[in-house]
Amino acid sequence: MDINTIRKDFPILNQKVHGNPLIYLDTSATSQSPVQVVDAMSEYYNEYNSNVHRGVHTLGTKATDGYEQARMKVRGFINALRYEEIVFTRGTTAAINLVARSFGEANISEGDEIVVTEMEHHANIVPWQELAKRKNAKLVFIPLEEDGTIKLENVEAVMTDKTKIVAVTHVSNVLGTINDIKSIAEIAHRHDAYITVDGAQSVPHMSVDVQDLDVDFYAFSGHKMLGPTGIGVLYGKAELLDKMEPIEYGGDMIDFVDLRESTWTDLPVKFEAGTPMIAEAIGLSAAIDYINDIGADEILRYEQELVKYAYDKMSEIEGIEIYGPKEERAGLITFNLDGVHPHDLATALDSDGIAVRAGHHCAQPLMKFLGVSSTARASFYLYNTKDEIDFFIDSLKRTKEFFTHEF
Ligand code: PMP
């Protein structure tokens, strides 16, 4: 991995913020896109902007090819068996809502149990809460260990003959915990339950093989993996998607429409009513090419190097609390500095040109578990460097000194 070459592909990183070079440590919220992604999208708009699956004219055919090739690209990227198993959505949130509204609606009955963890992003809690309310079902939580991990024996312990769905994140956007999805899927299936996985923080940073994991549903977003906003993916096993009802109706998703009755077209377009995100799918496809060119394993190795480097240096700062496991963590670090509110900290870092996230990170139940109302988070990707981390640590120390200095 040649970091200098990589950084040239991200012109956005080459700017000053408040007079300092930008250090972008907020990839977990949204990653930056390389020129290859932006170029692929502008090429679409400049050369073949057209609707898909409709006309027979040249531009329309080219747009349809681009859109469907993007689907094939995603299929290969996560090793889904069939391209019909790849549904384009607005993002992870929309994908999880689709599963809850369609699969959940048909498969959850009164008294059934839906198992989630306390580390979930709101996107993987609230749709299940609402489903549980509609169906008079029960949400059951896998408890967290002190270090922010979950134990497989506790997954096993919460399963009952009423468990129908296990909804769990692959990587926590707060703790950096990497959950053992393959084992959790095996436990779920042994109890005749289905597993749906929030992959928003995993797919961008490690190779994911949905067949090897044997998951039933898997959701992720383009904008966290070098791609554009407004597009994400729901992977679902074909035999499950096939039986599911659409949650949106209209153009493209129909087979035959009469005045009072209609039928639906085949997978996956059955779930993609209306004009889809064409430029965004083409951008996502270019993002996958970019990741594949470097190699997902190489990206993971580099990020692990960065996060270890940052973790060791941050741990030395007096009064810092770092959340989540010390070992085997993804490339993000959530923390608090004694005596400095995370929002003040993020503002001070911003004045040094450093972008970090502060707040509850859309995980309020987890904040409650940690006993805080908010935290700060630095997250890393293939375009960050150790020099940037050094500058970040230095800025953290100066900020702490400023806020806790007794005048
Ligand atoms: N799950 C996790 C773990 C996330 O980090 C995020 C984004 N912060 C989401 C779900 C939601 O993703 P999106 O906003 O792209 O739908």
For the chain, give the secondary structure using H, E and C.
Answer: CCHHHHHHCCHHHCCEECCEECEECECCCCCCCCHHHHHHHHHHHHHHCCCCCCCCCHHHHHHHHHHHHHHHHHHHHHCCCCHHHEEEECCHHHHHHHHHHHHHHHHCCCCCEEEEECCCCHHHCHHHHHHHHHHCCEEEEECCCCCCCCCHHHHHHHCCCCEEEEEEECECCCCCEECCHHHHHHHHHHCCCEEEEECCCCCCCCCCCHHHHCCCEEEEEHHHCCCCCCCEEEEECHHHHHHCCCCCCCCCCEEEECCCCEEECCCCHHHCCCCCCHHHHHHHHHHHHHHHHHCHHHHHHHHHHHHHHHHHHHHCCCCEEEECCCCCECCEEEEEECCECHHHHHHHHHHCCEECEEECCCCHHHHHHHCCCCEEEEECCCCCCHHHHHHHHHHHHHHHHHHHCCC
Closest ligand 1 atom, residue 224 Cα: 15
φ/ψ of 276, rounded to 5, equals -80, -175
Ligand 1 center–CA 16 separation, angstroms: 28
For residue 108, which of 138, 79, 148 has the smallest C-alpha distance? Answer: 138
CA distance 357 to 163: 35
- In this structure, what is the dihedral angle of CA atoms 37, 40, 45, 47, given to the nearest 10 degrees? 170
- 285: phi then psi, degrees, rounded to nearest 5: -60, -40
Beta carbons of 139 and 166 less than 8 angstroms apart: no
- Ligand 1 atom at minimal distance to the Cα of residue 29: 8
CA of 224 to the centre of ligand 1 (A): 8
Supply the pLDDT for residue 56: 86
Question: Which atom of ligand 1 is nearest to 94's Cα?
Answer: 16
Length of the chain: 407
pLDDT at residue 87, rounded to an integer: 98
Residue 210 and residue 75: Cα distance in Å, rounded? 10
What pLDDT sits at residue 17? 98
Which residues lie across from 334 on neighbouring strands? Answer: 323, 377
Rounded distance between C-alpha atoms, residue 57 and residue 268, angstroms:
23
Give the distance (Å) from ligand 1 centre to CA of residue 123.
7
User: Do the beta carbons of residue 317 and residue 340 sit within 8 Å?
Assistant: no
Say how many Å lie between the CA of residue 121 and the centre of ligand 1: 7
From CA 9, how far away is CA 32, in angstroms rounded?
Answer: 10
Q: Mention every residue, 6+ apart, whose C-beta is less than 8 A from residue 254.
A: 262, 263, 264, 265
Name the residue at shortest CA distance from atom 12 of ligand 1.
Answer: 92
> Which atom of ligand 1 is least distant from the CA of 221?
15
Under a CB-based contact definition with an 8 Å cutoff, are residues 160 and 239 in contact?
Answer: no
Q: Identify which of 218, 362, 366, 377 to mutate to test ligand 1's pocket (most ligand atoms within 8 A of the CB).
A: 362
- Residue to mutate, 28, 221, 223, 379, ligand 1, most ligand atoms under 8 Å from C-beta: 221
| Spacing, Cα 262 to ligand 1 middle (Å) | 34
Of ligand 1's atoms, which has the minimum distance to the CA of residue 120? 3
Output the pTM of the full model.
0.98
Pick the residue whose CA is nearest to atom 5 on ligand 1: 173
Closest CA to 399 of 376, 370, 373: 376
Instruction: Estimate the crossing angle of helix 342-351 against helix 386-404, to 10 degrees.
Output: 120
Q: Residue with the nearest Cα to atom 6 of ligand 1? A: 200
pLDDT at residue 382, as a whole number? 98
What are the phi and psi torsion angles at 44 (to 5°)? -60, -50
Pocket of ligand 1 (CB under 6 A): 91-93, 121, 123-124, 169, 173, 198, 200-201, 221, 232, 362
Neighbouring C-beta atoms of residue 188, cutoff 10 Å: 26
* pLDDT value at residue 36: 98
Written as tens digits, the pLDDT of the chain (407 aa) is: 899 999 999 999 999 999 999 999 999 999 999 999 999 999 999 999 999 998 789 999 999 999 999 999 999 999 999 999 999 999 999 999 999 999 999 999 999 999 999 999 999 999 999 999 999 999 999 999 999 999 999 999 999 999 999 999 999 999 999 999 999 999 999 999 999 999 999 999 999 999 999 999 999 999 999 999 999 999 999 999 999 999 999 999 999 999 999 999 999 999 999 999 999 999 999 999 999 999 999 999 999 999 999 999 999 999 999 999 999 999 999 999 999 999 999 999 999 999 999 999 999 999 999 999 999 999 999 999 999 999 999 999 999 999 988 77
From the candidates 35, 126, 140, 362, give the one annotated as an active-site residue: 362
Please indicate whether residue 362 is annotated as part of the active site: yes
With 0-12 CB in 10 A as exposed, 13-18 as middle and 19+ as buried, what is 323? buried
| Rounded distance from Cα 234 to ligand 1 centre (Å) | 13
- Write down the pLDDT at residue 104: 98
Whole-number Å distance between alpha carbons of 369 and 382 = 31
Separation CA 113–CA 115 (nearest Å) = 6
